[in-house]
Amino acid sequence: MSGDVFGNGMLCSEHIKLLAAFDHRDIFLDPNPDPAASFAERARMFALPRSSWQDYDTSLISAGGGVYSRSEKSIPISAAVREALGLDEGVEAMSPPDLMHAILKAPVDLLWNGGIGTYVKAESETHADAGDKANDAIRVNGGEVRAHSIGEGGNMGCTQRGRVEYSLSGLNGVGGRMNTDFIDNSAGVDTSDHEVNIKILLDGVVDQAGLSLESRNTLLASMTDEVAELVLVDNYEQNLALANAVRNSAPMMHVHEDLMRSSNERKGLLDRELEALPSRREAAARIEKKEGLTGPELSVLVAYAKITLADQLLATDIADDPFLRGELYSYFPAPLRQDYRKAMETHPLRREIIVTRIVNHLINGAGFTYLHRLGAETGATDQELVRANLVAREIFGSVGLIREVCAQDNKIDADTQTKMRIEVRTLVERVSRWLVTNRRPIDSEAIVDDFDVVVGKVLKQLPTIMSGVERTNFEARRDALMAEGVDEALAVRVAVMPPAYMLMGIVDNALAENLDAVDVAKVHFDLGERVGLPGLITLILGLPREDRWQTMARASLLDDLHRVHSQLTADVLHVGGAGLESAARVQKWVEHDPDLLARSVATLEEICADELPDLARLSVALRVVRGLVRTR
């Protein structure tokens, strides 16, 4: 690690404590570094035309450290270095290869690979498998690495099996955290992608005599920082997607196995052995042990999901949907969006740019199993599910809400942020399912016109509209988030996500009856409380999802219950009572057949009294609720 890494990697934070490093020439040791002084020295070195560790001012290195040539036969090891690297007492000198081997196994927060070479393999692999003979003497096994996380600034710093072994290891108490080199290095590819497409755009304008070559070059240089920001946003969101996937990896293992087997393996798209993914037997063992895929394995599946979806969407007309034209404009930096929109619309790679944006939004936001799961549950095509997800995001403003959650970086616990993002993602997924069930074919602009403003209006008032169990559950979620450091306004917006799904049926009824959606919402929640539906929803959500069929059955029950709830709300609205409070309107509906409601509620109470109901009982409960719907 040397050269431009001093700037590209080591000047991103003034708080880095660099304990040890090596490149092809030297070994650097600073067992108790001063963050401010070492930052300033790295900045000085980065500004040099060329630099190596030999240029480092050794007077700034803490006691016991130094810069040593790899050509030396023996390097002295101080007590401070022994402690920093976790070496055994009595070690007073080491050969350069042995010292570098020890650096790779140091108990640190981050092991960063910033250069050329493969330094970590799996125990099951030989050094020949790593394909890097020059580093055979210093290479370690993944299970030996004691760093809490590994970052790969260079390509192939680890073998894929080494990554998996490290991620499954327990040496640091929780297993290792890492992605893959193609994830950690994706910003470079993304930057090149933007650069090429911007040059294609501007070269077309220059050819048409609308822009001088000199002005074109000046404009290119002026957009450097914004291109970097666009790229970093893409990479940030991709890493959030992986964080979400890691958090749910164990309970989703059966879904991941089914995805590997049915969607990829059978189509010849995925070779498990080549990609170092678990075999069917290994996957079954992880399911049995309630273990999931690791970060490196999930990274591979995310990549496959993006590649295959892009190929599928390019064969459709989705890139021509007027609703998605903003994806083309927002890909380019702001200075281009005003004056060169027409050139963007005739860009030779216009469709590819739009599809790439759509794919990133979909996979990063919804998760790489979204299409596989909902396709099986609804029978909808990938194109329909993509449109539905993008429309759902627009209706509920999920992008802005996720942005607010991300703004809490380093202010609240990262696990809390992940939990909040998953709440938002779950709502968008449930709304997507509703759309492909109730609004197919998906007319994006028409659906947004119908639901966007109205849903936003009701959503703001939802905390005060809910009653009974729904209100209590909402307050518990809100208070739990606030106890974790989330400010009240954001906690409220996230805590309201689970019941917000019901707004689709509520607004649908309001549109059909030409009524105020807020009034309909009040009736909807009062009716649910009167019948006892919130308790039933809680029990359905508690059903096991240990295989594909249990998951689909649970989703079907939940969708059916919400559909019947909407039908019951429509019944109440048809009974009349305009001008009455919502509770009074519900009471007027009850009076049409109070005995039927009493029997039904009693049956539901009996079912809900069982803390561990099975699918059979809940199916009966749904039939009881459906029996309350009146034919008109």
φ, ψ for residue 85, nearest 5 deg: -95, 0
56-69 per-position pLDDT tens digit: 999 999 999 999 99
8 Å CB contact between 127 and 121 = yes
- Token pair, residue 278, equals 């678990």
Which residue type, as a one-letter code, is found at position 141? N
450-484 per-position pLDDT tens digit: 999 999 999 999 999 998 899 999 999 999 999 99
* CA 247 – CA 146 distance, rounded (Å): 21
306-335 per-position pLDDT tens digit: 999 999 999 999 999 999 989 999 999 999
Q: Is the pLDDT of residue 213 over 90?
A: no
395-429 per-position pLDDT tens digit: 999 999 999 999 999 999 999 999 999 999 999 99
Q: Mean pLDDT score of the chain, rounded to an integer? A: 91
* CA 499 – CA 423 distance, rounded (Å): 11
Indicate the pairing of strand 120-121 with strand 140-141.
parallel
Mean pLDDT of the 147-157 span: 90
What is the arrangement of strands in the sheet containing 26-29, beginning at the earlier edge strand? 20-22, 26-29, 66-69
Handedness of CA 157, 159, 160, 161 (dihedral sign): negative
Does residue 557 or residue 3 have the better pLDDT? 557
- Token pair, residue 377, equals 């549950």
pLDDT band for position 205 (cuts 50, 70, 90): confident
Torsion of CA 545, 394, 396, 564, to 10 degrees: -60
Maximum Cα–Cα distance across the chain: 95
* CA 162 – CA 158 distance, rounded (Å): 6
Specify the pLDDT at position 4: 61
Cα Rg of the chain (Å, integer): 29
* CA 303 – CA 318 distance, rounded (Å): 21
* Residue with the two structure tokens 């329909």: 384
Specify the pLDDT at position 269: 82
Q: What angle do CA 61, 67, 73 make, to 5 degrees?
A: 145
* CA 141 – CA 158 distance, rounded (Å): 9
247-282 per-position pLDDT tens digit: 889 999 999 999 998 866 667 788 899 999 999 999
8 Å CB contact between 293 and 253 = yes
For the chain, count helices (H), then strands (E): 32, 9
* CA 414 – CA 587 distance, rounded (Å): 46
pTM over 0.85: yes
Handedness of CA 28, 32, 35, 41 (dihedral sign): negative
* CA 188 – CA 283 distance, rounded (Å): 33
Q: Is the pLDDT of residue 498 over 50?
A: yes
355-403 per-position pLDDT tens digit: 999 999 999 999 999 999 999 889 999 999 999 999 999 999 999 999 9
10-53 per-position pLDDT tens digit: 888 899 999 999 999 999 999 999 999 999 999 998 888 888 89
485 — alpha (psi -120 to 50), left (phi > 0) or beta?
left
Which among 332, 104, 373 has a CA at the least distance from the CA of 220? 332
Count of Cβ atoms closer than 10 Å to residue 568 Cβ: 24
559-610 per-position pLDDT tens digit: 999 999 999 999 999 987 778 889 999 999 999 889 999 999 999 999 888 7
Mean pLDDT of the 118-142 span: 96
Specify the pLDDT at position 266: 63
Q: Is the pLDDT of residue 525 over 70?
A: yes
Q: Where does 367-502 have alpha helices with state H?
A: 370-378, 382-396, 398-406, 414-438, 444-465, 468-483, 488-495, 497-500
SS3 151: strand
8 Å CB contact between 128 and 165 = no
* CA 398 – CA 93 distance, rounded (Å): 57
115-127 per-position pLDDT tens digit: 789 999 999 999 9
* CA 111 – CA 105 distance, rounded (Å): 9
pLDDT band for position 172 (cuts 50, 70, 90): very low
The gap between the terminal CA atoms of the chain, to the nearest Å, is 75
